[in-house]
Each structure stands twice: as C-alpha cells, then as structure tokens.
Amino acid sequence: MNDKGHLPEERRTFLKYLIGGGLIGFAGSVLYPLFAFLKPPKQADVEVTSASAGKLSEFEKGTGKIVRFGNKPLLVIRMPNGEVKAFSATCTHFDCTVQYKKDLEIIWCACHNGKYDLNGKNIAGPPPRPLDEYRVVMKGDEILISKKA
Amino acid sequence: MKNFWNKIYDWFNSRLDLQDVVGFIGKKYVPVHRHSVWYYFGGVSLFLFIIQVITGILLLFYYKGSSDLAFESIQFIMSKVEFGWLIRSIHSWAANLFILAAFIHMFSVYFSRAYRKPREITWLTGMLMFFLALAFGFSGYLLPWNELAFFATKVGTDIMTAIPFIGTPIMEFMRGGEDVTGATLSRLFGFHVALFPGIFTVLLAVHLILVQRQGMSVPIDMENIPADEKKTMPFFPNFLLRDLLLWLLVLNVLAILAVFFPAHLGEKADMFAPSPEGIKPEWYFLFMFQTLKYIPAQVLFIDGEILGILLFGAAGLLWTLVPFWDRRSAKGQSSRFVTYLGLFAVIFIIVFTIVGWLA
Ligand code: FES
C-alpha cells in the first residue's frame, strides 16, 4: 500500500483479474451442472431392428394399421392388391401421426391435411418430405418389419 | 364498534407504520379523460391471474402429473369430485380471459405511450409477464393428456426445430427427449405450476410497485391541458371501488362461460393412434400459426418456416423494446409511425386469428 492508502496499479489489476476470474469460474461451476441437469439424458433405447406387424391372414386388404417400432409409430398398409408396405407414421410436416385413407387410397395427415401417395411421396398439403419406407418381410404368415439398410 | 377497529389499526400501525402506506395510497390520483376505460384492464388481468392461482392450487389437490394417471385424474376431478368440473372449467376459461385482458392491457398501454420514460421497466416487466402468460397457456394445454393436447404439443414443439442451430436442442429441452412422452408431461407440469408462477410473481410485484410509485400515466395529448382543467379521481377509494365492481362483472361472465360451456376432456392421448382432425393451437397462437402457412416453402435461399419464426421473434423483440427506440415519446411527442405500427399489429392479429379460426 502506498502513502495515499491505495494499492499500486499493478496489484490492483491483478486483484481485479483474480476476482473477475473467480466469479466467472464460480458462475460456470454453478451453471454447467444446471444446464447439464436440464438436458434430458439419452434413454438407453433398446435399439429395435425389427418388429412384428401381426399375421397376414388377419390383415384385410385395403386397410392400414399403426404398429409400434420401438418408440416410434409405423404405418403398415395392406394394399388393395394384397401387397404390404410399411412407412414411418410420423408426418414430415410437424410430427403428427398419419393414417391410411381407404377411399382416396392415399396416406393422410389429419393435422393440416397433408397427403402422401402409397409410395410415401408427399403429393399435397404442407409436408415437405416423403415418409421413410421400411422393409417388409414375410416369415410364414407373420409380417416382419425392419429398417431399410 | 368504531373503537374496536381503531384499536386493531393502532396495534398494527405501531408495529408496521401503516400511516405511511395509507398516506401513500391516498395521494395517488387516476386521470379522468375519454380514454380512462383502458385503465381498468390491468386490474382485470390481475384479478384473473388471482383466480388462476386459486383454482390452480385447488386442481393440484387431485391432479396427477404422469402420463398414465393425468387423464384419469382429470376424469376423476370432473366426475367424482364435487364441483370439480366447475373448478376445472373456471381454470380453463379464466386462462383465456386472462390472455385476452392482457392483450387489451398491452395494446392500450402501447397506444397511450404509457411505456415512455420513466415507465420503461414497468413495460418490460409487463411484456415478460405477457410472454409468460402464453407459456402458461402452452404448458397447461398438455396437462390433461388428451389426444388434441398431445398432438398440439407435438406440433408446437416441432415448430421450434425451424430455428437454426439452437432449435433442436430447445425442442428436446421442452420435450424432455426426442418425442412427446410422459417426460414432456412432467416437464411442462413443473414449468406450469412451479417455475412460471415463481418468475411471474416476482415480475408482478415489481410491476405493481412501480405502478403505485409512479402513478398512472397520462396520454401525451392530454398532458398539456392546464392543471385546473385536468380531471382526476382518487385511486383510493373511488377508482378501487370501480375496479372491484368490474371484477365482480368479470366473475359473473366467467361463471356463465364455465357453467354453460364447461371444458371438455376428449379422448386420452395414444401415441400409437393417428392424429385426430382439426388440430388447432389455442386462439392466441392461431395468428402466428396461420401466418406460417402462408409463407411459401422457400423464400430466396431461406426455408419459409425459418423465415416466419425469425420474423415473429424479431417482431416480438421490437415490440418489447419500443420504449427504447420510440425516441419521440420520451420527449412528449407522439409519432405517427408508432401509432400505425400498432394499428397494423392489431389488425394483423385480428384478421389472421379469424382466418385461422375459419380454416
Ligand atoms: S403435421 Fe402432418 S400435415 Fe402438418
């Protein structure tokens, strides 16, 4: 301390940095755990690779149904010609769940009237992208669905 | 009898120095002019907020905030608990009236330039409370865990992803994961009954203290009336009694709405069922939602959705900061531009709300 009772300039700057740095460090050590806590943990999702969509013999032609694939809904359709197709049922617009519309033979999203054809291509309304298609394999009478490689 | 009350007053007064407060309130005057009616809407918003707190606490006695129990607990409230349907209907209707009153209050403050110096902080706390009110509406909407709420929340949170860089993290923060699940319900429940009310109460306290300290603002064009021609009314008790009368009227309107148009519950949310038709956000989000639909998918190089969200964000920010860029009002002049901007905002909101409603 000099005769005026002030700290010398360099000591003062040093203390300023020390206190400022300390404050930043303190704020960081409080905020980091806080934000980390708020961020939802990645659930150890059982990575599903395939799911069953029931028996073909019980699946009427010209109908569709929603099947769970892990946590996600899939839309499985039995076409009028008997062929089975599977798509992600999550609308590419804002995440609603789509359905098969028998009378129009399209995939329809009720939320904002989004339409997809039976190849999952977006043909009308707001959806910006086609629906992802899944692979369908038959194991005897059972319909199995898996992710496309 | 008089003596008895005087004694009670004296008891408190000698401990709390009440005479200062009484003297302080007694000095406040409310200007009387042809726009005086707008002074009442802040009070109405306050009244409706108080109703929300009371009915909200009552609902908490029975509500269960988890995805397997939420819907059933509300069913229980509506069918088994005496007057449960009434409490829930009032909570739901008061929410709507609250936001409506807050809209009116905000616009009347805007048009009368009551935000100008020295009331900038009052305006800012008010705007933050307004945004919180919308957040209350959004978070409360999911709590019944019915089909409409479930998909509306999906849509509402998915819109966030249009914001560049931080959009997806925000969406996951709101959902408590990648999808709308029970985790989302827990989160929004926590926001709705703990986080938001806490912040709101602090803002409200600051807001009200400032209004008491600074008194009522007078519109710019009334300011230059000579002092002896200025009409005023004492805040206490004259204005307060009128306030209370209006509150009683609002309570009646609320009761009529709640009794004759009780809140629905609908179907329980099913994550593996197709979305129902007619997903619409609550009316106070409708104008934004409807506008987003009109912006083409691609504007120059930017995605229409992104552009829309950014525009609304910027507009909200500009509106919130009006006391700082409307330099003329601080000097006691009203600018045409500010008036026209306000009119544009009102008309825009009304038109797009109606269009969205009819769509
Ligand atoms: S969410 Fe499917 S059309 Fe909007």
- Tell me if the bond preceding B118 is cis, omega within 30° of 0: yes
The pLDDT score that the predictor gives to residue B103 is 98
CA distance B55 to B49: 10
Q: What is the mean pLDDT of residues B221-249?
A: 88
Interface residue A128 vs chain B (CB under 8 A):
yes
Most distant pair of Cα atoms in chain B: their distance: 78
Q: What is the mean pLDDT of residues B83-103?
A: 97
CA of B121 relative to ligand 1 center, distance in Å: 41
| Nearest Cα residue to B262 out of B134, B144, B85 | B85
CB contact under 8 A, B155 and A43: no
Residues touching ligand 1 (Cβ under 6 Å) are A 91, 93-94, 96, 109, 111-112, 114, 125-127
* Alpha carbon distances (Å) from B203 to B41, B125, B137, B210, B316: 17, 6, 18, 11, 18
List CB contacts of B153: < 8 A, sequence separation 6 or more. Answer: B138, B141, B142, B180, B184, B188
CA of A125 relative to ligand 1 center, distance in Å: 8
- Ligand 1 atom closest to Cα of residue B155: 1
The pLDDT score that the predictor gives to residue B226 is 83
Structure token digits, residue A18: 């020390």
Q: What is the mean pLDDT of residues A34-42?
A: 87
Q: What letter represents residue B266's amino acid?
A: G
> Pocket of ligand 1, candidates A87, A88, A90, A93: which has the most ligand atoms within 8 Å of its Cβ, to mutate?
A93
CB contact under 8 A, B158 and A71: no
Residue-wise burial string across B131-168, b where 16 or more C-beta atoms lie within 10 A, e elsewhere? ebbebbbbbbbbbbbbbbbbbbbbbbbbbbbbbeeebe
Beta pairing, strands B302-303 & B298-299: antiparallel
CB contact under 8 A, A40 and B183: yes
Min Cα–Cα distance to chain B from A96, Å: 6
CA distance B329 to B342: 14
CA of A121 relative to ligand 1 center, distance in Å: 14
Tell me, rounded to whole angstroms, the distance of Cα B329 from its chain centroid.
26
The pLDDT score that the predictor gives to residue B300 is 78
Q: What is the mean pLDDT of residues B351-357?
A: 95
Indicate the residue of B159, B276, B293 with minimum beta-carbon distance to A110. B276
Min Cα–Cα distance to chain A from B112, Å: 39
Residue ID of nearest Cα to ligand 1 atom 1: A94
The pLDDT score that the predictor gives to residue B292 is 87
Give the range among B155-169, B250-264, B335-349 with minimum mean pLDDT.
B155-169
Cβ neighbourhood burial of A24 (10 Å; 0-12, 13-18, 19+):
exposed
pLDDT at A20 over 70: yes
CB contact under 8 A, B279 and A111: yes
Q: What letter represents residue B54's amino acid?
A: I
Indicate the residue of B181, B272, B278 with minimum beta-carbon distance to A68. B272
The pLDDT score that the predictor gives to residue A44 is 63
Q: What is the mean pLDDT of residues B101-127?
A: 96
Mean confidence (pLDDT) of chain A: 89
- Ligand 1 atom closest to Cα of residue A98: 2
Give the range among A49-58, B90-99, B293-302 with minimum mean pLDDT.
B293-302
Residue found by looking up tokens 């004759």 in the block? B260
| Nearest Cα residue to B291 out of B313, B271, B272, B274 | B313
Residue found by looking up tokens 């042809």 in the block? B34
The pLDDT score that the predictor gives to residue A1 is 52
Which 295-354 residues of chain B touch chain A by CB within 8 A? Answer: 297
CA distance B137 to B134: 5
Give A-chain residues touching B274 at CB under 8 angstroms.
Answer: 66, 89, 97-99, 110
> Pocket of ligand 1, candidates A112, A123, A129: which has the most ligand atoms within 8 Å of its Cβ, to mutate?
A112
| Nearest Cα residue to B89 out of B266, B252, B260, B325 | B260
For chains A and B, count residue pairs whose Cβ atoms are closer than 8 Å. Answer: 62
Give the range among B163-167, B253-257, B310-314 with minimum mean pLDDT.
B163-167
Q: What letter represents residue B274's amino acid?
A: P
